Amino acid sequence: MSTFGGLSTAYTGLAAARAGIDTIGQNMANVNTEGYTRQRVSQSANGSLAGIGPLDTLFRGGTGVSVDMIQRLGNALLESRVRNASASSGYADMTSTVQDALETALHEPGDTGLASKLHDFWAAWQNVANHPADPSAAGVLLEAATTLSSRIAQGYNDAVSTFSATRSQAQGMVVQVNALATQVAQLNDQIRQATAAGQSPNEMLDQRARLTNSLANLTGATVVDRADGSADVLVGGNPLVTGNKTHTLVLTGAAIMNDANTLPVQLEWANSPGRSAELTGGALAAAVGALAPGSASGGGSILSAADTYNALATQLATQVNAIHRTGATSTGTTNLDFFSFAAGKPAALGLTIVPTDVSGIAAATPGKGGLDGSLADTIAALGTSATGPDAAWSDFVVRIGIATAKATDQAKTATQAAASATSKLLSETSVDMDEETTSLITYQHAYQGAARVMTAIDEMLDTLINRTGLVGR
């Protein structure tokens, strides 16, 4: 190697050290930037050049160092675990939110709960049994019946409100998912171009990782990296993002709960109407699941709750009317209903009270006279029946309580798992100021060393150029 070649070798050392210092500066500047992954200079030694001519030395050293790339110190395995944990956390949190809303609407136990209103209703029948001809006892009964009917309707309307809120939230998530997918596709294009041009795409990779984490939280998305630097995003095994192209999602089905059993809410691919997008996790999957029609095997939690209120109203009216029709009023009138249903409304909203005063209440057994209250006593006994409305309501409250407790526990566990996965990832990818400071000192000394070599060669060249041939002058 020529003496001038030594300058080139020293210069590569300066350039490599400067690249290291610049990279450390970038790390330190982003120590508090969310989602930033620390970077390192990847460098390798340059080999020796081939000798030319008979005067070339036999043994030649290397020609310095080259900066191969600015390496992003991410961990694909840990990043995948974070996405999986985020998907589980999103699903569990959304499920817990819906269950909490349903349980809160029960108002159980408490004076405003349906169990308390049922108790007051049966107690009023018992009072009528004890005072069959007393208008005040009948008034208390009619008031208790009206309050009970209103409470059932309120419970149903609470389910309607929960449905509307959840559907609105699901629609917002769909808009968010489509926007995130578009951003990922745009970044894919930019990353591919930067990679092909030999530029560092590290900051764009960090941004894309944040976006895909958000998509995983919403949809349970998985990511498949491609050789050109882009990444495909899959939901339920189907592509949401492929390179720089996106496949849009749309929420279809009923806008109001009363239509949801016949027109189910579901997630579909916009370019394939009727083709369901089956999500395997994420908050959106939980929301769509909660909006699903009720069924004997469970179904959507919101419509199942609404169906329970309808079933309770129907059971209450059926059992009370079945006994009431066999009784007689104080004037001897028989075959009268106590409850009826308004046409065109769900049972829970259409439950109405037929009698308006004591004359319409059949409290007596036919043939026993107007002062008999034995039939009212029979109706009051429905409150303690194992197949009565109270038993059905109690069973529903217990099921809601168990489901809510389970959802809460799962949400806590999933949140902890997501935090743990994120912590493990950050332990490998986040900026450690102590480590960066140490590396900065190392590169600083490397820069000084390369500069010292360059100075030494400069002095050698000065001697060779300016002083050779001066002897004897």
pLDDT for position 53: 55
406 falls in which pLDDT band (50, 70, 90)?
very high
Structure tokens at 442: 């190392």
Residue 18 has pLDDT above 60, yes or no: yes
The tens digit of pLDDT for each residue in 349-371 reads: 999 999 988 888 888 888 776 67
d(CA 288, CA 307): 18
H helices within 353-388, ranges in order? 374-380
Average pLDDT over residues 19-29: 91
Task: Please tell me the distance from the alpha carbon of residue 352 to that of residue 354, in angstroms, as a whole number.
Answer: 6
251 within 8 A of 265, measured Cβ to Cβ = yes
User: Given a cut of 90, is residue 410 above it in pLDDT?
Assistant: yes
Q: If pLDDT is split at 50, 70 and 90, which confidence band does 54 have?
A: low
Lowest mean pLDDT among 46-50, 181-185, 211-215: 46-50
Q: What is the mean pLDDT of residues 259-275?
A: 88
pLDDT at 408 over 90: yes
- Contacts of residue 45, defined as CB under 8 A and 6 or more positions apart, other chains included, come to 62, 64, 65
Mean pLDDT computed over 401-421 = 95
DSSP 404-440: HHHHHHHHHHHHHHHHHHHHHHHHHHS--HHHHHHHH
Write b or e for each residue in 436-458: b if 16 or more Cβ atoms lie within 10 A of its Cβ, otherwise e: beebbeebeebbeebeebbeebe
Q: Give me the phi and psi of 299, to 5 degrees please.
A: 65, -160
- 75, 421 contact by CB (below 8 A): no
Percentages helix, strand, coil for the chain, rounded to the nearest 5? 60, 10, 30
Neighbours of 408 (CB within 10 A): 16
**pLDDT of 359:** 82
pLDDT for the residue 51: 56
**Mean pLDDT for the stretch of residues 374-393:** 91
For the segment 195-201, the average pLDDT, to the nearest whole number, is 89
Give me the pLDDT at residue 222, please.
Answer: 94
Give the confidence band of 342 by pLDDT, cuts at 50, 70, 90: very high
pLDDT at 370: 64
**Residue 408 vs residues 97, 248, 303, 422: alpha-carbon distances, Å:** 9, 32, 20, 21
Looking at residues 401-410, what average pLDDT do you find?
Answer: 95
Task: Give the pLDDT mean for 269-293.
Answer: 90
As a whole number, mean pLDDT of residues 461-472 equals 69
Beta strands in 243-385 (DSSP E): 245-246, 249-252, 266-269, 272-276, 294-295, 298-299, 339-341, 351-353
Q: Please give the share of the chain, as a percent, with pLDDT higher than 90.
A: 58
pLDDT of 296 reads 56
Exposure b/e, 305-329, CB count within 10 A at least 16 = b: bbbbbbbbbbbbbebbbebbeebbb
Q: Please state which of the ranges 49-53, 93-97, 385-389 shows the lowest mean pLDDT.
A: 49-53
Mean pLDDT of the chain: 89
* Res 45 pLDDT > 90: no
**Calpha distance 253→266 (Å, rounded):** 6
What is the residue whose two structure tokens read 């026993």? 368
The per-residue pLDDT for 172 is 96
Residue 349: burial class (beta carbons within 10 Å; 0-12, 13-18, 19+): buried
Give residue 298's pLDDT: 64
% pLDDT > 70, the chain = 94
Amino acid (one-letter) located at 50 = A
Residues 60-90 have pLDDT tens digits of 567 788 888 888 998 999 999 999 999 999 9
Cα–Cα nearest to 253, from 261, 265, 262: 265
Q: Rounded mean pLDDT of 299-324?
A: 93
> Is-contact 301 404, C-beta < 8 A?
no
pLDDT digits (tens, 9 = 90+) for 99-145: 999 999 999 888 889 999 999 999 999 998 888 778 888 899 999 99
Asked whether the beta carbons of 64 and 10 are under 8 A apart, the reply is yes
pLDDT of 463 strictly over 70: yes
Looking at the predicted structure, is the pLDDT value of residue 50 above 60?
no
What is the distance between the alpha carbons of residues 210 and 244, in angstroms, rounded to a whole number?
17
Looking at per-residue pLDDT, the higher value among 452 and 58 belongs to 452
pLDDT surpassing 60 at residue 441: yes
Q: What is the pLDDT of residues 6-15, one digit of tens each?
A: 788 888 888 8
Model confidence band, residue 251 (pLDDT cutoffs 50, 70, 90): very high
Helices (H) and strands (E) in the chain, counts: 11, 13
The whole-angstrom separation of Cα 192 and Cα 190 is 5
Q: Looking at residues 371-376, what average pLDDT do you find?
A: 84
User: What pLDDT is stored for residue 144 in this prediction?
Assistant: 94
Q: How far is residue 292's CA from residue 307's CA, in Å, rounded to a whole number?
A: 12
DSSP state for residue 334 in the 8-state scheme: B
Q: What is the mean pLDDT of residues 301-306?
A: 92
Using the predicted structure, report yes or no on whether residue 49 has a pLDDT greater than 70. Answer: no
CA distance 335 to 319: 14
For the beta carbon of residue 94, count every other beta carbon within 10 angstroms: 27
Residue 56: pLDDT above 60?
no
